[in-house]
Amino acid sequence: MSIGPTIEQLLDSGVPEGDPATAWQRRRDAYRLVGPLNRGKFTVIVVGTGLAGAGCAAALGELGYDVHAFTFHDAPRRAHSVAAQGGINAARARKVDNDSIRRFVVDTVKGGDFRAREADAFRLAEESIRVIDHLDAIGAPFAREYGGSLATRSFGGVQVSRTYYTRGQTGQQLQVAASQALLRQVAAGSVTLHTRSEMLDLIVADGRAQGIVVRDLVTGRIGARTAHAVVLATGGYGTVFFQSTLARNSNATAAWRAHRRGALMASPSFIQFHPTALPVSAPWQTKTTLMSESLRNDGRIWVPRTAGDERAANDIPDADRDYYLERKYPAYGNLTPRDVASRAAREQIEAGHGVGPLRNSVYLDFADALARLGRATIAERYGNLFSMYHDATGENPYEVPMRIAPAAHFTMGGLWSDYDQMTSIPGLFVGGEAGWGYHGANRLGANSLLSACVDGWFTLPYSIPNYLAPLLGEGRLPLDHDAVRAAVGAVTGRITDLLDVGGRTGPDRFHRRLGEILYAGCGVARSPAGLTSAIGEIRSLREQFWSDVRVVGSASEFNQELERAGRVADFLELAELMCVDALDRDESCGAHFRVDHQTAQGEARRDDDHWCAVSAWETTADGRHIRHREPLAFDAVPLQTRNYQ
């Protein structure tokens, strides 16, 4: 298999021509409709019950469609959306700080380093207003000002206060509200909920997505479910790095199986490394812990000016501290975007200024905020986060600075979709982090919960009926159709292959080694030599996996080793494509930082003449990678060099 890609064709975004600020309204006005009496004749499968999946299933169920929601959790509220705790952005402009929809779009497009659709950013901003009002109405307990209005705070990459929050529990509280909305439809009979069910393949027939193959995680039974349309809202693939801020069960299998059936994968190398995670503290550690970016509102980030300084943090006077973000980016300071903050932290650690027992972190210090605001105010804003830090480290952040470090977090890449959220396979839609939209090469903090909600509640419930309308009168694909039998057979055969290897090494060992390869070759900084080496190492590791993986137990029972083995097998394929994409994209942009493309000041240098486009990849049956391109144009926010100074 060669590393170099073949450029096959240009992709049509489906964005209406004209002003991007009005594109969404004009597109909605042009959508075909399904009448209320006909909606129950259509079946829609929604895979995933996070904010995007729960919102989409609940909305479609409320409208009258026959919806089947699938999750591998035992309850929908356990979806990983609970982990995004800091807040959710909205351009509601309730504070007198001169925020607006246009400023929201500028911040989002600029924050993503001009590698996302401009029209998508306008939709995100426009619908953000409805999202907050909707979530407030269905029970999300947003923080409030003394007079009763909803409170806001700031996040990285902006100079206004547009982030709505529920202390440090925003994702958890929004997920509870969305799950309750979903369960209301389950009780009403419009949504059928399938728990402990993992999607292992996509059924494609007549060129359309018409169902999925799932495995019951309790009994091991493999079955198929057909529908008129399928929505994947299965989250991101950050756990490909093994040690990431994501839950250990988060994976890429549903999206990757769809990719192998023909859905293009966009910008897979665009990985966000969160600057505010807890550092790795021991070799046996299996994941990192996220500390919300909201902490950067009041915490100051610094390292000792002298490399190797052995003094305790509180013993280092202010004159001997380097508040490097405030020094390098005075206009934004500690609220610089995540990619910039992560690179800056990595530079300090690699230059010998790292702190902590392993010298692999920097300080996040609240001493000034505590002196200025008092402990009660800080506890009101971040109390649960401080408690979580204390539980994880044994250190009290009210008394000593936190220690933080960059860690693999959010994936801006995902299944490519057009403006209607439909992938390159007709009938297959995508929502939330499983897709690629909105964020470009770097996501601004608090836009993740927003993008999931916009997709689930206010985009897919419009665009899916537009797809379904011409299918009125067509039944669901019968379960004895050849395409269904073939997909079920493929899943069964793959499971048999995993069990039959009979090796000596558990899947987690391969996963951990894959993470080491990716952190070294496709991490915060990348180089052509490092990426080329990583591709070779991944291919070698994949060969070892299929000759030496050990999967104990059988397929006809609850078997977590089998689950992990299947997910790691997919990660080993995805990881190669990530590195191929990073090597192919011969520029730096956002979180994709190539050391051979940087300014004299060490900032990312884009190549807009050649790379102002989305790379959307096809993987052939024999493992070749073919790049397709969607050109990007910017009318409302002219191309410019990002500057946070």
Residue 411 CA: distances (Å) to CA of 222, 246, 448: 29, 11, 10
Largest separation between any pair of C-alpha atoms in the chain: 75
The string of pLDDT tens digits covering residues 435-446 is 999 999 999 999
Assess contact for 270 and 115: CB atoms under 8 A. yes
Q: What is the mean pLDDT of the chain?
A: 96
Alpha-carbon radius of gyration of the chain: 24
Indicate if 402 and 487 belong to the same structural domain: no
DSSP 3-state of 133: helix
Indicate if 376 and 513 belong to the same structural domain: no
Indicate if 381 and 512 belong to the same structural domain: no
User: What residues contact 637, with CB distance under 8 A and at least 6 apart?
Assistant: 105, 106, 109, 110, 114, 118, 121
Which backbone phi and psi does 143 adopt, to 5 degrees? -65, 150
Task: Determine the pLDDT at residue 6.
Answer: 65
pTM value is: 0.96
Confidence of residue 1 (pLDDT cuts 50, 70, 90): very low
User: What residues contact 303, with CB distance under 8 A and at least 6 apart?
Assistant: 321, 322, 324, 348, 353, 354, 355, 362, 363
Indicate if 403 and 489 belong to the same structural domain: no
Q: Which of 390, 408, 426 is the last residue of a domain?
A: 408
User: What residues contact 14, with CB distance under 8 A and at least 6 apart?
Assistant: 418, 419, 420
Assess contact for 198 and 252: CB atoms under 8 A. no
Cα 531–Cα 447–Cα 615 angle in degrees, nearest 5? 35
DSSP state of 616: E
Task: Determine the pLDDT at residue 5.
Answer: 67
Q: What percent of the chain has pLDDT over 70?
A: 99
Give me the DSSP letters along 302-328: EEESSTT--S-GGGS-GGGEE-HHHHH
CA atoms of 644 and 331, how far apart (whole Å): 6
> Which CATH number does the domain housing residue 494 bear?
1.20.58.100
CA atoms of 242 and 515, how far apart (whole Å): 5
> Per mean pLDDT, which range of 42-46, 184-188, 266-270, 640-644 is the poorest?
640-644
Among 50, 100, 364, CA closest to 231? 50
* Stronger pLDDT, 496 or 286, i.e. the higher one: 496
Q: Is residue 575 part of a domain?
A: yes
The string of pLDDT tens digits covering residues 544-591 is 999 999 999 999 999 999 999 999 999 999 999 999 999 999 999 999
Confidence of residue 229 (pLDDT cuts 50, 70, 90): very high
Assess contact for 417 and 568: CB atoms under 8 A. no
Confidence of residue 13 (pLDDT cuts 50, 70, 90): very high
Indicate if 490 and 396 belong to the same structural domain: no
Q: Which of 300, 338, 542, 585 is catalytic?
A: 338
Q: Is residue 261 part of a domain?
A: no
Q: Which of 408, 424, 452 is the last residue of a domain?
A: 408
Indicate if 396 and 497 belong to the same structural domain: no
Q: What does the block give as tokens for 59?
A: 């909305």
Q: Is the confidence at residue 275, as pLDDT, over 80?
A: yes
Task: Identify each DSSP E strand in 340-419 by its residue range.
Answer: 362-365, 402-411, 414-415
Indicate if 492 and 580 belong to the same structural domain: yes
Q: Is residue 199 part of a domain?
A: no
Indicate if 486 and 626 belong to the same structural domain: yes
> Per mean pLDDT, which range of 144-148, 515-519, 595-599 is the poorest?
144-148
Cα 447–Cα 20–Cα 410 angle in degrees, nearest 5? 20
Indicate if 397 and 507 belong to the same structural domain: no
> Which CATH number does the domain housing residue 371 bear?
3.90.700.10
Q: Which residue has the tokens 């797809």?
A: 467
Q: Is residue 128 part of a domain?
A: no
Q: Which residue has the tokens 């059924």?
A: 203
Indicate if 283 and 383 belong to the same structural domain: yes
Residue 305 structural domain: 275-408
Q: Which residue has the tokens 């990312």?
A: 604
> If you average pLDDT over residues 333-348, what whole number do you get?
96
Confidence of residue 3 (pLDDT cuts 50, 70, 90): low
CA atoms of 568 and 623, how far apart (whole Å): 17
Among 82, 81, 78, 84, CA closest to 193? 78
Task: Determine the pLDDT at residue 347.
Answer: 96
CA atoms of 357 and 341, how far apart (whole Å): 22
Q: Is residue 39 part of a domain?
A: no
Q: Which residue has the tokens 């000596």?
A: 504
Give me the DSSP letters along 214-258: EEETTT--EEEEE-SEEEE-----GGGGSSBSS-TT--SHHHHHH
Number of domains, the chain: 2
Residue 83 CA: distances (Å) to CA of 48, 239, 440: 15, 14, 22
Among 283, 244, 276, CA closest to 402? 276
Among 416, 407, 458, CA closest to 434? 416
The string of pLDDT tens digits covering residues 479-489 is 999 999 999 99
Q: Is residue 316 part of a domain?
A: yes
Q: Is residue 101 part of a domain?
A: no
Indicate if 489 and 608 belong to the same structural domain: yes
β-bridge partners, 514: none
Q: Is residue 583 part of a domain?
A: yes
Active site residue 338: yes
> If you average pLDDT over residues 591-612, what whole number do you get?
95
DSSP 3-state of 587: coil
Q: Which of 358, 375, 408 is the last residue of a domain?
A: 408
Name the burial class of residue 325, with classes exposed (0-12), middle (13-18) and buried (19+) by CB atoms within 10 angstroms of its CB. Answer: buried
The helix (H) or strand (E) run that includes residue 193 is strand 191-194
Indicate if 302 and 393 belong to the same structural domain: yes
Task: Determine the pLDDT at residue 467.
Answer: 98
DSSP state of 11: P
Q: Which residue has the tokens 């990348």?
A: 526
Name the burial class of residue 189, with classes exposed (0-12), middle (13-18) and buried (19+) by CB atoms within 10 angstroms of its CB. Answer: exposed
